Structure 1
Amino acid sequence: MLVGIETIEQGAEDERVRSSFVEGKLASGEWQTLCMGSGIGHKHTQPTAPLTVVEARLNVLSSDDTPLIRRFALFGKAV
């Protein structure tokens, strides 16, 4: 069960992402928005409502340059 998302850009000085959102794919095949953000920077951690997903994707809506994502991680707990 998903309970949080962490995203980190490549370098602290390279804060390129200005807006993004994360979607999770449910067992039904439907994509659901899990969280939205105005930037990522060095480290962005976002708690989510408890939810079971089979896939996740990061969607960058705007950036100052090509996004350099170092880490995109989902955190969960056993059910």
Structure 2
Amino acid sequence: MIKCHLSAIMGAKRLKIADVVRDAEINRNTVTRLYHETNNRIDFDTLEKLCRYLNCDVGDLLEITDDEDGRTPQ
């Protein structure tokens, strides 16, 4: 399973979904699904926009976990 840390990163930076939508020019539904981790895919273009806007690496935003409880593989 892949876990998205968008909500945690946005919280640390005190950003709202509307800020990301407006400033990074990403569709609101896409940002909302990533924020709530209800998405099942992401376009490279969207991933690049998010990383550039949030000033983070892909590995900061996405993480592979063993299962749905969020454990990281050993």
Same fold by TM-score, threshold 0.5 exceeded? no
Normalising by structure 1, we get a TM-score of: 0.29
Normalising by structure 2, we get a TM-score of: 0.30
**Larger proportion of strand:** 1
**Larger proportion of helix:** 2
